[in-house]
């Protein structure tokens, strides 16, 4: 019998919070059970296994970031949309490092199909429409933006920029300016 008060939604939310606190790699069913003061077995009436838990946190994170990005993009176009999207992405990674890491796991095709991860690509393509890139250039630009955002936020989070006195905010702004310029002058 399921313990009163434990639901999949409550467990996933707590797991996401735990991942932000201890790191996604340290998220386990045992750690989550300890948070609720129950035995591991109590959680298995709600979760299939540790992979199920990790995938559910990833889906939650993908949805949360997509919702934030969509709010940030509302009413914006061109450079303003690019900056709003990039800042939503970076802010989420900084605020929720465990959840952000969860978004990088490989989801099974069944889970991926229900995750709405495609919203990220759709929003990026919407931003890129203002730059009038034909295919396959648009796909290349989607990959460039996501790689740049991920690379910058990952290096920043790991202290990779701490060895130089240049302010990371100034570098971030310059990076976004450079992306805007590149997108407006895409190589033919």
Residue 3 located in a structural domain: no
- pLDDT tier for residue 53 given thresholds of 50, 70 and 90: very high
- pLDDT above 90 covers a percentage of the chain that reads 84
- pLDDT tier for residue 121 given thresholds of 50, 70 and 90: confident
Tokens linked to 70: 């969509």
Rounded to whole angstroms, the maximal C-alpha distance in the chain is 63
Q: Total structural domains in the chain? A: 1
- Can you give the CATH number for the domain in which 22 is found? 1.10.357.10
The continuous run of DSSP H or E covering 73 comes out as: helix 50-73
What is the C-alpha separation between 67 and 44, in angstroms, rounded? 29
Contacts 24+ apart (CB under 8 A), 132-140: 133/183, 133/186, 137/186
Domain that holds residue 110: 8-184
Residue 2 located in a structural domain: no
Residue 1 located in a structural domain: no
| pLDDT one-digit tens code per residue, 141-176 | 999 999 999 999 999 999 999 899 999 999 999 999
Residue 65 located in a structural domain: yes
């Amino acid at each position: 019998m399921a313990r009163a008060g434990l639901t999949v939604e409550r467990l996933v939310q707590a797991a996401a919070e735990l991942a932000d606190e201890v790191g996604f790699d340290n998220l386990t069913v045992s750690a989550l059970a300890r948070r609720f003061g129950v035995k591991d077995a109590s959680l298995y009436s709600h979760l299939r296994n540790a992979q199920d838990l990790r995938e559910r946190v990833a889906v939650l994170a993908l949805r949360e970031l997509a919702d934030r990005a969509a709010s940030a993009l509302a009413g914006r176009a061109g450079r303003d949309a690019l900056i709003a999207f990039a800042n939503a992405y970076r802010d989420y990674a900084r605020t929720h490092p465990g959840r952000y890491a969860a978004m990088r796991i490989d989801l099974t095709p069944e889970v991926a199909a229900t995750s709405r991860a495609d919203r990220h690509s759709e929003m990026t393509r919407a931003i890129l429409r203002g730059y009038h890139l034909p295919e396959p250039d648009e796909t290349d630009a989607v990959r460039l933006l996501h790689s740049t955002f991920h690379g910058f936020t990952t290096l920043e989070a790991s202290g990779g920029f701490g060895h130089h006195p240049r302010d990371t905010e100034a570098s971030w702004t310059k990076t976004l300016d450079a992306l805007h310029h590149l997108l407006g002058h895409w190589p033919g």
